[in-house]
Structure 1
Amino acid sequence: MIGRIRGLLVEKAPGQALVECAGLGYEVDIPYTTFFHLPDTGQEVTLHTHFAVREDAQSLFGFASLLDRNLFRLLIKVNGVGPKMAIGILSGLDAQQFIQCVEARDVNALVKLPGVGKKTAERLLIDMADRIKQLEGQFVPAVPEQLVSGAASGASVTGSDPREEAEAALIALGYKPQEAAKAISKVAEPDMSSEQLIRLALRNMIPAG
């Protein structure tokens, strides 16, 4: 099991990071909440990881905080929730926000997440009510200062059109093209990076609970 990776951030995009460690480049699938905390490319990054092996694929998932990683591991134990849906959930809500939704029995916040219908949301509230108790008292390390400054820099994702990149990122997350285009149009302003567009669009689509 690969539980943590530290190395040079070679590439980053919504949903994935490429981290070079000891001469090897690891492709790491990440939720958007982690993407927003990544430093600029060329800087060192540390991610808490979960290594998943299936018959047809091997995947490495990375998270900015240990709490997010451990919540991901609890989510994929819920019937009907696979890694892709768990990443989608943690792209719209970080661990603290998700825990608040479960404690408040907030179905409405969960059904706004891509791929989560009402039945799945209700199942999550029931199944996770007991599971999240495993996270109580868990030490959550503060996000390093260099990660905060990297996220705040607002560097655009590689590409030419930030709006198209942002829409494509939301579609990849599971939103319908019409929903993605509408969400980006609502928040778009001149000279905004794709990262800024994605962040604001997700805030509007999934209000904080």
Structure 2
Amino acid sequence: MITLLVGELLERDLTVVQLLTSGGVGYTLAIPLSTFESLPKAGETVRLHTHLVVKEDGWQLFGFGTTYERNVFMRLLNAKGFGPQLSLNMLSALSAERLVRAIRERDVATLMQVKGLGKKKAEQVVLDLADKVDDLQRGTSSIATTGGAGVDDAVRALQSLGYASAEAEAGIRAALDAGDGKDGTAALIRAALARIGSR
């Protein structure tokens, strides 16, 4: 099972990306809008968490900026009548956190904001998943798509120090933009803390 791909971003679209791994293998992945918004420029390295859907008429690979988004997507596939395209549309219309909260709180009105999701479908996903989303763990920021595993660790470390995810991401991004943190995760954390503290 393909669960993670790292490679050069060849092309990016609102719903599809193409990347080339270091082994010379190219992949086309369907993505939600939230992942598109966090992608680097073409030619840069991208890191995507993936899920492979195998159907009779072919295989389709889906990519996500965080493991949390991927896990929410996979959970949506367990709802009756929910295929990969509708599940992807849900993650494009609502953030993964808001989507899980709406399902948990049985907020049908919020779910109906998703294009193609009528009242019956919204009620169905609530019926099937309302009691089955509590185990989903919040993933780290989608900034991880550009920085590798060390960025995941750095964001988690800042969150453990009490910083909100948005603040942690901003600090990490500022440090990366300045070229800091090349000496490892610890250096990246220190650089991010310095930049957060200087604001």
Q: TM-score, normalised by structure 2?
A: 0.69
Aligned residues: 147
Matched residue, 1:5: 5
Matched residue, 1:41: 42
Shift, 1:25, TM fit:
1.1
SS in 2 for 1:27: strand
Q: CA RMSD in A?
A: 1.7
Q: Tell me how far apart the structure 1 counterparts of residues 45 and 61 of structure 2 sit (CA, whole Å).
A: 18
Matched residue, 2:17: 17
1:153-192 equivalences under 5 Å are: none
Q: Tell me how far apart the structure 2 counterparts of residues 45 and 11 of structure 1 sit (CA, whole Å).
A: 11
Q: How high is the sequence identity, in percent, across the aligned residues? A: 36
Matched residue, 1:82: 83
Contact 2:14 2:36 in 1 (8 A): yes
1:47-86 equivalences under 5 Å are: 47-86=48-87
Which of the pair has more CA radius of gyration?
2
Q: Tell me how far apart the structure 2 counterparts of residues 78 and 124 of structure 1 sit (CA, whole Å).
A: 6
Shift, 1:85, TM fit:
0.4
Structure 2 residues not aligned, in runs of 5+: 148-168, 174-199
Alignment deviations for residues 6-50 of structure 1 (CA, whole Å, 9 cap, x no partner): 100000001000010121110000011111111111110111000
Q: Tell me how far apart the structure 2 counterparts of residues 143 and 53 of structure 1 sit (CA, whole Å).
A: 26
Write out the 4+ residue segments of structure 1 that deviate beyond 4 Å after TM superposition.
145-149
SS in 1 for 2:88: helix
Q: Tell me how far apart the structure 2 counterparts of residues 24 and 15 of structure 1 sit (CA, whole Å).
A: 20
Q: Tell me how far apart the structure 2 counterparts of residues 87 and 79 of structure 1 sit (CA, whole Å).
A: 15
Judging changes above 3 Å, is the alpha-carbon distance between structure 1 residues 134 and 28 closer, same or farther for their aligned structure 2 residues?
A: same
Matched residue, 2:141: 142
Contact 2:5 2:50 in 1 (8 A): yes
Alignment deviations for residues 119-150 of structure 1 (CA, whole Å, 9 cap, x no partner): 11011112111220221xx251233375787x
Q: Tell me how far apart the structure 1 counterparts of residues 2 and 131 of structure 2 sit (CA, whole Å).
A: 26
Say yes or no: does 1:131 pair with 2:132. yes
Q: Tell me how far apart the structure 1 counterparts of residues 26 and 76 of structure 2 sit (CA, whole Å).
A: 27
| Structure with the larger RCO, 1 or 2 (CA within 8 Å, 6+ apart) | 1
Q: Tell me how far apart the structure 2 counterparts of residues 139 and 133 of structure 1 sit (CA, whole Å).
A: 10
SS in 1 for 2:132: helix
